[in-house]
Amino acid sequence: MGRLSNRSDLVSQSHGNNTPYASQRCTNLGVTGELAQLEERLLCKQEVRSSSLLFSIRYLRIANVHYQMFMKLFLDTAETSDIARLFTTGLVDGVTTNPTLIRKSGRDPEEVYAELKKLGVPDISMEVGGNWTEMLTEGKRLHGKFGDVATIKVPCTPDGLMACKYLSQDNISVNVTLVFSVAQAIMVAKAGAKYVSPFVGRCNDNSFSGVELVRAIAGTYNVHNVETQVLAASLRDVHHVSRCFLYGAKVVTVPPTVFEKMYNHVLTDSGLAIFEKDFSLIKSETTDI
């Protein structure tokens, strides 16, 4: 089964349905394992099934799952100067890279990864290539070197999904990229990927809506309680960022230029100009008094 947990599923967990499975799902999402284990021990004692303690444990566990699923913004670049500058905002949750972006930076890929890890970036997509055994071997090596910040990025091909399946079984996060259909996204979820990356911009370039693809994938995953998160990629404008989140993407990765434009709105600028003018008038009037 792939990855996900939607609101209705979380509600059923809070009523005690299939608790051992629910606990395993929480562990997969990185939720504190002690809470799930404590809940299971309490459930073995019939007299505490309705206790306030058990309810509190469930509440904390479910709340943590919701926190894990909160929408995230990644930067789609390998330019470490841009990443360092924008990461200090506290609004960046991760970084996606690919061979094209690495090549543009003129850097050795693993030097870039090491620098990003040192900055404190918690989720770094590191792309691998070759046949499935080569991707598997390289993915394990990168995870061994960089730890849990490493999300191994593979293409949506038979080889890529085979590598994804084995990496996921070893609890290594995988981002499956170059996805252009719901059928592909289904295969990605079956392979146990953490992320599926539909390429919104490239869809639009080929005369079909990338945001509609995001909506279709997210809708399909929600129907089947899939845990794989939709990571919308290849975005080129702020409008598509908003639509992707509206249509169910859990993560959106954007170039630094798009990230910085997300702050902007003409009405914010005009309103700020009025406020600053009034602030200066208040200060001058206060000084005169």
Residues identified as active-site? 153
Ramachandran category for residue 103: left, alpha or beta (phi over 0 → left; psi -120 to 50 → alpha)? alpha
d(C-alpha 164, C-alpha 120), whole Å: 25
- What sign does the dihedral 38-39-44-47 (CA atoms) show? positive
